[in-house]
Every structure is written in structure tokens, then in C-alpha cells.
Amino acid sequence: MNLFRSEEHARRWKDFQPRSEEGFITLPDLVGFFGTESRRHMLDGDYLSTWYPRRGAERRAYLEQIGKTSPFWMGTPDPPAA
Amino acid sequence: MPDLVLIDRAFQRIMRALVDSGRAPHYAELARALGLTTEEGRGLLRDVMQAYPIGWLHPETDYIASFPPLNNLPTQYRITVRGEQRWFAQCGFEATSATWLFPGDTVRVDAPCLDCGDPVTVEMRDGRITWADPPGVVGHLAFGFGPSRGRPHYL
């Protein structure tokens, strides 16, 4: 999960995986993805018991909102090969 | 059964120590702060990490390596607040979450581009991007989320 100067820089990265062509995210979308409601409460006394458990659902909802619904992003198994 | 209130308190101690000093406490320090024996502190630390599995201990130790969004082990994602570069983010994505740990402050992320080594800089304040250089900075998920992808997703 890295930041690059541009998509072209990422594609030139020695460790770039062809599968990760779908792994790009704009900076504003990334900020939203890692700034969902629960993440704003990390300094609260009940973060771990109250807020952290909500994080997964928030992140899935945000990914759906920005159209990143593939298994690669959602962390779900790949469909069986045809 | 772990005491959830105590686990919450321990989490806050660790996160607050990271924010205040850039370092995560050792379990013995955590124990002292919470009025526990050192062994109770070690057990409590393990309970916290089990409840917060996006962080981790260094393998075969009880040293906190990663406690996102911050990292106790240096990474290329350097965080600067109020002119002091004391912090590291777990990864480029979590770096954008560090802003929520420093309300009211500008949080600057500096990293080398893994392709060319030239700088990538993002500044944020209270969750908003205030500066990005170059303007086309992008995030990239190399291996995908989920255990089936074969590599740690944060790389």
C-alpha cells in the first residue's frame, strides 16, 4: 500500500504486479477510504471496543461507493477460473 | 475472559505514547502505567494486539512493530507535525489516516517514490488534503486485500 508520484511511476516499479493494475486509487479517494468515521475516533477511550469493530463495514461501504468492488479490493476470494 | 475496559485503556496508552513521543511503550512500561505486574502487562499487550490485528508484534518478541496508522519500526513514510519528524506510518495508505491523531495540526507525509526515489509529499489537516507534490500522487495496492492474495497487503 504505497504512494507513487503517478501511475506511470508505479508501473515502472520493479515489484509491480500485473494484477495490481486494478490497485490504483486517487489520493482524494484514498483519504476517504482511510478516513471513515471510525478512524476519526482513534484517540477515544472506547476506540477498540466501540469504533474499531465498525471499521470493516465502513470500508466495504466506501469501496462500493467509489466502485472498487472487485475481490482484489474487497478481500473476497477470486471466483473459480472458468 | 479479557477485561474489555482494560484492553481499551491499554490501547489508548499505546496510541497516546506513539502520538506523544513517536515510540510505542514496552509492555513493562504499559504495565506500570496501568498498575499491573509486568507479566500482566505482557498478557494485556497480547490481548490488545489480538483485538487489533491490523497491527503486529515483531516476530518472536513482545515488541510492538506496527500499531496503525503509525509504525514503531521505521518505514519510508515519515510523518512530520509542528516541524518535528518523529513518526512513521505503517504504509502509504495508513499515512493518510495519521491526520486523525493530530487534530488541528498540519500532518506532513514524506516518502520516496519506490520507482525513482524522488520525493512524494502530502500534507493534511483535520482529514483534508492541503498540499500534494507532485499533484498527481496516487495510491497503489500491490497485492490486494484478503488472505488469499499471498502477500501482506500493506506492502
ipTM: 0.95
* Full residue range of the structural domain in which residue B49 is found: 4-67
State the pTM of this model: 0.94
Residues B34 and B15 in one domain: yes
Residue B148 lies in a domain: no
User: Is position B37 within any domain?
Assistant: yes
> Burial, A52: exposed, middle or buried (Cβ in 10 Å; 0-12, 13-18, 19+)?
buried
Q: Is the pLDDT of residue B19 over 70?
A: yes
Q: What is the 3-state secondary structure (H, E, C) of B80-147?
A: EECCEEEEEECCHHHHCCHHHHCCCCEEEEEEECCCCCCEEEEEEECCEEEEEECCCCEEECCCCCCH
Helices (H) and strands (E) in chain A, counts: 4, 2
Please check whether residues B56 and B93 belong to one and the same domain.
no
Say if residue B91 is in the same domain as residue B51: no
Q: What is the mean pLDDT of chain A?
A: 95
Mean pLDDT of B13-31: 98
Q: Supply the pLDDT for residue A77.
A: 85
Q: Looking at the structure, do residues B59 and B89 belong to the same domain, yes or no?
A: no
User: Sorting pLDDT into bands at 50, 70 and 90, what band is B75?
Assistant: very high
For helices B4-21 and B27-34, the axis angle rounded to 10 degrees is 120
Average confidence (pLDDT) per 10 residues, chain A, 82 residues: 97 93 97 97 97 97 97 88 72
| Same domain as B62, residue B92 | no
- Work out how many domains chain B is built from and give that number: 2
**Predicted local distance difference test score (pLDDT) of residue B24:** 98
B149 — pLDDT class (breaks 50, 70, 90): low
CB atoms A47 and B11 under 8 Å: yes
- Considering the domain architecture, whether residues B44 and B11 belong to the same structural domain is answered as yes
B11 and B59 co-located in one domain: yes
- What integer pLDDT is reported at residue B2 of this predicted model? 73
Do B82 and B110 fall into the same domain?
A: yes
Mean pLDDT estimate for chain B = 95
Residues B129 and B91 occupy one common structural domain: yes
Q: Number of A:B CB contacts under 8 A?
A: 174
Per-residue confidence band for B20, with pLDDT thresholds at 50, 70 and 90: very high
B81-97 tens-digit pLDDT = 999 999 999 999 999 99
**Domain membership flag for residue B121:** yes
* Cα of A64 to nearest chain B Cα, Å: 15
Which CATH number is B22's domain given? 1.10.10
Tell me: do B10 and B55 sit in the same domain.
Answer: yes
Q: Note whether B138 contacts A25, CB cutoff 8 Å.
A: yes
Residue B118 belongs to some domain of the structure: yes
- B141 in any annotated domain: no
Inter-chain CB proximity B77 and A3 less than 8 Å: yes
Residue at B47 is within a domain: yes
Q: Is the pLDDT of residue B1 over 80?
A: no
For residues B115 and B85, state if they share a domain: yes
Position B151 scores a pLDDT of 67
Q: Judge whether B115 and A3 are in contact, CB under 8 Å.
A: no
> A48, B48 in Cβ contact below 8 A?
yes
Percent of chain B with pLDDT over 90: 90
Q: Which residue has 525513482 as its cell numbers?
A: B116
Q: What is the mean pLDDT of residues B35-51?
A: 98
Instruction: Give the model's pLDDT for residue B106.
Output: 98
Q: From the list B109, B136, B144, which residue is nearest A5 (CB)?
A: B136
Q: Which of residues 42-71 of A touch B (CB under 8 A)?
A: 42-43, 45-49, 52, 71
Tell me whether A31 touches chain B (CB under 8 Å).
yes
- In this structure, is residue B142 part of a structural domain? no
Give a yes or no: residue B10 inside a domain: yes
Whether residues B63 and B118 share a domain: the answer is no
Confidence of residue B36 (pLDDT cuts 50, 70, 90): very high
